[in-house]
Amino acid sequence: MGEKIYIFDTTLRDGEQSPGASMNVEEKLQVAKQLAKLGVDVIEAGFPIASEGDFEAVKEIAMEVTGPQIAALARTNEEDIVRAWEAIKYARNPRIHTFIATSDIHLKYKLRMSREEALEKAVKAVELARSFTDNVEFSAEDATRSDWDFLVKIFTEAIRAGATVINVPDTVGYTVPEEYYNLIRYLKENVPNIDKAIISVHCHNDLGLAVANSLYAIKAGARQVEATINGIGERAGNAAMEEIVMILKVRKDLFPYYTDIVTEQIYPSSRLLQQITGIRVQPNKAIVGDNAFAHESGIHQDGVLKKAITYEIMTPQSVGWPTNKLVLGKHSGRHAFREFIEKMGYDLSDDQFNRAFKLFKALADKKKKVYEEDIEALIAEEILRLSEKYRFISANVTSGTDMLPVGTVILEVEGKRVKEAAFGDGPVDAIYNAIKKATGKDSVHLVRFDVSSITGGTDAVGEVTVRIEEEGKVSMGQGSDTDIIVAAAKAFINALNKLEYRKRGKSELKKEGI
Ligand code: KIV
Ligand code: ZN
């Protein structure tokens, strides 16, 4: 069986930093509950000092999610660490994760600090964190571009101050497997008190090597891996957790280690995250992409039918791919509906469940067959987004070959009803102009607009994904409805809400390069 590799999930912290991935408190809670089912060892729930929303989400997760350790990120400032503790103190096993940059590039240009000052700050931060909890992780940001002997020094002192996990991030996705292997070995051999801490790795995917680098680090002695579902994260993303876990499982001959991940929960976790963030994985994405187990060529199909192992190195069931598509209809009752949503990874309160059931019944009246994808869209939009600044009430467009399209919307803006109408070049343009008027968001640009039908047939629920931009900040939004114009309006409003959340929450930290 070999040694255990601890899985530290940072989907809700580093993952959430990817453009368009911001989630509200309720959405983060749903993801955290699913991560607990997935069996991750640590959930990094957020960066509490970053915003009120981050703080609330971390606190809520700490109070509600049991099983994994709950971590919160903090810079080495006293204020950050106290705030992180305030948010996670309710967890059964809370972890404070504090970090400071160690590369000369970051020290000189970002922090304007000497190595000695950084060392002192790191030690003080770990000591302060240890006064709250004995579960403290210290990260040397940009470790892979840092001086190796300075890393030895700072990790030695951090462990002496009480860090139980030391993390060696490849912050900018710069390293390659051999170099990273050598660095981890160097630390293992030269940090004198390394036996008192677990070595952790945290890889970004700028050169497409995040997973490979993480695996080589394990070979060199790392025992905690930081990763995200679907590999979401800053820029090109973080190491994809599902890939690391399945490589360790499928290639045990080369990697004699194990994780506590319930691999059958991988696919539901991936779907849930895609639905909530609107960030879809590419069809050929390993493990969770639509084509990951699709055999197109005749020779392959023939082989798989005779014996799956001919072309499948793991079964779709082992990562939780549904064998049969679940379908509900208007006669389905509460019990079937509950089972259906639990299988999809949602864990709703009674009130949320009752509202979702009512909406499902209304949808089933319009559509003969209701698929998983329809319910996913319904829950993501109508249940989890309730507390946002802008809320969709209704949208109508009049358009045709001989008239200028005119759109009318009714929204709730911070609880107040607003009605507006506007002309446009087409029906979507008209409705978007009306929404811009109602929200006062004139400077928002639509960068991308995609429509797809999430289930088949002319009664299908259509899904619209938009990407918008305002003053250099981007945001993605998703909306679905049997009426495509309504779906477009909902997607735009969802993107505006995310933009709002992003702007409100992170502006102060952005100034400091976080
Ligand atoms: O990439 C990075 O260096 C980080 C640290 C805060 C761990 O995300
Ligand atoms: Zn990172």
Q: What is the pLDDT of residues 229-266, one digit of tens each?
A: 999 999 999 999 999 999 999 999 999 999 999 999 99
The CA dihedral of 81, 87, 91, 93, to the nearest 10 degrees, is -10
Q: What percent of the chain has pLDDT over 90?
A: 69
CA 51 vs CA 32, 333, 507: distances in Å: 19, 41, 9
pLDDT of residue 508: 46
At residue 254, the pLDDT reads: 97
SS3 assignment for 250-317: HCCCCCCEECCCCHHHHHHHHHHHHHHHCCCCCCCCCCCCCCCCCCCCHHHHHHHHHCHHHCCCCCHH
68 pLDDT higher than 70: yes
Rounded to an integer, the average pLDDT of 459-481 is: 83
Per-residue pLDDT band for 505 (boundaries 50, 70, 90) equals low
Query: Which residue, judged by its Cα, is nearest atom 1 of ligand 1?
Result: 171
> Which ligand lies nearest to the CA atom of residue 143 in the structure?
1
Least confident of 27-31, 210-214, 291-295, 321-325: 321-325
Distances (CA, A) of 154 to 7, 57, 111, 283, 406: 24, 31, 16, 43, 63
Tell me the two tokens of residue 206. 């700028």
Output DSSP code: residue 346. -
Half-sphere exposure of residue 353, counting CA atoms within 13 Å on the CB side? 15
Name the average pLDDT for the chain.
91
User: Does the domain at residues 390-511 carry the CATH identifier 3.30.160.270?
Assistant: yes
Average pLDDT over residues 160-174: 98
Residue 71 confidence class, pLDDT cut points 50, 70, 90: very high
Q: What is the pLDDT of residue 458?
A: 67
Output the six-digit token pair for 21. 């991935």
Topology, domain 3-277: TIM Barrel (3.20.20)
- Say what the pLDDT of residue 513 is: 44
Nearest CA to ligand 1 atom 2: 171
Task: Report the distance separating Cα 354 and Cα 352, nearest Å.
Answer: 6
Nearest Cα to 241, choosing from 250, 229, 224, 249? 229
| Ligand 1, atom nearest to 238 Cα | 1
Three-state SS annotation for 434-474 = HHHHHHCCCCCEEEEEEEEECCCCCCCCEEEEEEEEECCEE
Residue whose CB lies within 8 A of the most ligand 1 atoms, among 139, 168, 203, for a mutation test: 139
The residue ranking higher by pLDDT, 349 or 340, is 349
Would you say 197 and 165 are in contact if contact means Cβ atoms under 8 Å apart? yes
pLDDT digits (tens, 9 = 90+) for 108-121: 999 999 999 999 99
Q: Dihedral sign, CA of 202, 205, 206, 209?
A: positive
Report pLDDT for 462: 83
475-498: average pLDDT: 89
- Give distance in angstroms: CA of 174 to centre of ligand 2: 12
Q: Which residues line ligand 1 (CB under 6 A)?
A: 14, 99, 139, 141, 167, 169, 171, 202, 204
Report helix, strand or coil for 94: strand
Domain boundaries, the chain: 3-277, 294-383, 390-511
Between residues 504 and 353, the one the model is more confident about: 353
**Residue 346, pLDDT above cutoff 70:** yes
